[in-house]
Structure 1
């Protein structure tokens, strides 16, 4: 809220350019926050997709986690007033790629009760396929 006060003060002083700089900073902070949320939910989404691929099965719990993660990613990315999105498919894919390693490490703890190492999961799981599947689910679902 301090930034809003600063913008108001700058506008009252006729310093429009300076006010616009603060607006741009607020916009960047908002986008960063949204990307962080997408990253966090992306880890959960990828974790369950990795588990499904590794164990070649699913559970109701995993399916619900996938659906909840999808919903949260879509809600975070949705622009309310213009009905568009904040981030395009490339930005979402980049965020998923960034989240993948965290998801893989978590999956190693859970797949077959933690019997697989991260390195073994890397060998048996197709990273690009998992990320593409996640991206398709986000964009289509």
Structure 2
């Protein structure tokens, strides 16, 4: 909120250059917030995809978590008024890549009743295939990959 008051002051004083710099900073802050939300849902999505692949099964609960995570990622990434997306596919993939390790650690605690360490569980699944699957699910009906 402080930034809006500062922006107003810059505009009232005719300091357009400083106002534009502040708008750019605020835009980056907004995008960072969107990326953080997408990252949180990406961890949930990847966690359940890893468990599905490792255990070669699924549950209704996992399917629901996957569906909800996909929907939240798509919803968060959608620019409602300006149309388009906050993150392009390359940025989404980078976010999934970043979230994978955390999701693998969480999956190790849950899959097979927690009997494998994340390193062991990681050898049971194909990291790239899971990230590709997640990308496909996220991009389905939203944007071209």
Which TM class, normalised by the smaller chain length?
over 0.9
- Which shifted more, 76-85 or 36-45? 76-85
> Which residue in 1 is equivalent to 2:83?
83
> Which residue in 2 is equivalent to 1:5?
5
> Which residue in 1 is equivalent to 2:40?
40
Q: Distance in 1 between matches of 2:122 and 2:102?
A: 12
> Which residue in 1 is equivalent to 2:112?
112
TM-score of the pair, normalised by structure 2: 0.95
> Which residue in 1 is equivalent to 2:100?
100
By how many angstroms is 1:123 displaced? 1.0
Q: Distance in 1 between matches of 2:34 and 2:81?
A: 16
> Which residue in 2 is equivalent to 1:124?
124
Structure 1 spans left out of the alignment, 5+ residues: none
Structure 1 runs of 4+ with >6 Å offset: none
Aligned residue-pair number: 141
Q: Distance in 1 between matches of 2:119 and 2:98?
A: 17
> Which residue in 1 is equivalent to 2:73?
73
> Which residue in 2 is equivalent to 1:53?
53
By how many angstroms is 1:105 displaced? 0.1
By how many angstroms is 1:117 displaced? 1.2
> Which residue in 1 is equivalent to 2:22?
22
SS at match of 1:38: helix
SS at match of 2:116: coil
